[in-house]
Amino acid sequence: MLHGKNAGIWEWRFRDLTTKIQQRLLGVFAKGQPKTAIFLLGCNHKQKVYQPVNCLDTAKKRANSIKSGDMFNERKVRTDI
């Protein structure tokens, strides 16, 4: 979970084994549904540099749009796999 102005945004971290670059999926949890993840965007991270540079600002804007009801594109995930 991120802090400060990006509070409420979480990172799912993993490393690309071919490039060794740390990848991130930024997201939030659905209000009232802590087991429902909403992915906002993907980016990469090396040392203190995020690429694209403005990805945290974009994630926060998208999270705010979802909270206000302006944007939502739900995808059902199969649970019988």
pLDDT digit string, tens, across residues 14-72: 998 998 888 999 999 888 877 888 899 999 988 888 899 999 999 999 988 888 877 66
Dihedral sign, Cα of residue 17, residue 18, residue 23, residue 25: negative
Residues 6 or more apart from 5 whose CB is under 8 A from it?
A: 60
pLDDT range class, residue 3, cuts 50, 70, 90: low
Q: Is the distance from CB of 11 to CB of 25 less than 8 angstroms?
A: yes
**31, part of any domain:** yes
* Overall domain count for the chain: 1
* Cα-based torsion angle of the residue sequence 52, 14, 66, 48 in order, rounded to the nearest 10 degrees: -40
**74, part of any domain:** no
**53, part of any domain:** yes
- Structural domain that includes position 14: 4-68
pTM over the 0.75 mark = no
